[in-house]
Chain A
């Protein structure tokens, strides 16, 4: 994927010049003042920001301060572009949170080399992030990422008094599938189910992750009982509709899933573990009830307070 660089500079000549130098390396966006630059940065999430230090309305330090204070932007590296050289100035730039600085008048090879270095670094960090948060087999988020996000969402829903839905999904008789078809096809099966779940889980804030083995977990923000029940039913139908053959299953001739659901507006005592426990109990009930179905648990807490 092509990288994106945002140039924030109130001098169109400098923007034009840097764009010409950098277009081979990345898509180039620009803003001619700090406020517009922050807006574009939030909307476009560039891999790198080149920030002019001396601007008329809001100077580079003020813009950088806002970038560093914004949780969505603070990971985006900033390179200051400055006509002022000298050690003190360099230190001030780096102290402000910039990763580097480029001095004016601009030199093409220097601008290209510095930007290339930081884009490479960003690409490496993105790869590391993928390795740390994604499941290698299915491409879904992994359990570590789920746990992090789950804690954040429980706290947020507790503050807002909103209902948070959780779904635990288990592929029915997956051990029999592996025994019958072999592990390679078993992996294919997991990938297909993961893809189906991802297709069903697209609303903003929803998150689907591989929980381990043949288990998946889904976070459904602002979802009351009725909504999570509908969701559970829907994913069961969606996976069944894949018609992946499962000759060894006593449930159906194709791959099916069981789903344990829970919807809860977390109280002070409710933890991520208590929500998961409720969903896990519901999953157990779904399996005990014959599999290929979705069951709702934790009914005593599950008040639909979300709009």
Chain B
């Protein structure tokens, strides 16, 4: 009887050889994909499998993780704020808030949420209070489902091993500052690589302050942080 290559290998090697690091990494990734199989593909609720497929496992994946984290952390508050605006009579503000919210949440495959916010915007424009109330309710229901699914996916998404490479900190910081000045999004990857080194040399508070500005894409504020005296001191 013909046996599969893996079975014959196992049979010949006793005790079994430890898997190579590369093999272990692949297996871990495969396991993660299997566990996250359902988590990343819930049609209409949270569907980012295609997105992840086109992005791959490079440094850009972290951008998606950060985006999902932000959505999980803030979007409920943003929906509440949109509803409060409407209740205060600010229909234009409420519509703008829903529009912005849809950009982030909808792009994670939350089609139901996107449809509900679109319908709410239309009802706001029509001045149909009952429909607005109904659509806010539908949006809330859809968002709850999306946030639960997104949270589950985040729990399965192991943090990528730190790609930090010990480098000339001053030169690397100069590169980071240049990227920030150009509004170059590679600053995100550059900062993430530098962060452990920065935290150990300048303190975690200083690194966290810079991280907050960079991850919010407020590169002007990040440059302001860098221009403060503490950052100018030689490392």
Which chain B residues numbered 42 to 75 have a C-beta less than 8 Å away from chain A? Answer: 50-51, 53-56, 58, 60-61, 63-64, 66-67, 70-71
Given that A13-B103, A108-B51, A108-B54 are contacting pairs, would A29 and B182 also be in contact in the complex, using a CB cutoff of 8 Å? Answer: yes
Q: Say which residue of B66, B114, B186 sits within 8 Å of A16 (CB atoms).
A: B66
> For residue A106, which residue of chain B has the nearest CB?
B107
> For residue B52, which residue of chain A has the nearest CB?
A108
Q: B1: CB under 8 A from chain A? A: no
The docked-state distance in angstroms from the alpha carbon of A14 to that of B67 is 9
The docked-state distance in angstroms from the alpha carbon of A32 to that of B183 is 10
Q: Say which residue of B55, B56, B70 sits within 8 Å of A13 (CB atoms).
A: B70
Q: B104: CB under 8 A from chain A? A: yes
Binds A, one of B94-102, B147-155, B169-177: B94-102
Interface size on A, residues (CB 8 A): 32
Inter-chain contacts of A89 with B (CB < 8 A): none
- Do most interface residues of chain B lie in helix, strand or loop, or is the interface mixed? helix
> For residue A4, which residue of chain B has the nearest CB?
B184
Given that A11-B100, A108-B54 are contacting pairs, would A29 and B183 also be in contact in the complex, using a CB cutoff of 8 Å? Answer: yes
Given that A13-B103, A104-B102, A105-B106 are contacting pairs, would A20 and B182 also be in contact in the complex, using a CB cutoff of 8 Å? Answer: no
Most B C-beta atoms less than 10 A away, residue of A15, A31, A40:
A15
A-B contact pairs, 16 of them (CB 8 A): A13-B103, A13-B104, A14-B103, A16-B185, A16-B217, A17-B104, A19-B185, A29-B185, A30-B185, A83-B102, A83-B118, A105-B102, A105-B106, A108-B50, A108-B51, A108-B53
- Chain A positions within 8 Å of B, measured between CB atoms, are 10-17, 19-21, 23-24, 27-32, 36, 40, 44, 54, 56, 83, 104-109, 112
- 10 A-B pairs besides A23-B60, A44-B182 with CB distance below 8 A are A10-B100, A12-B217, A19-B60, A20-B61, A21-B60, A24-B60, A30-B185, A104-B102, A109-B50, A109-B54
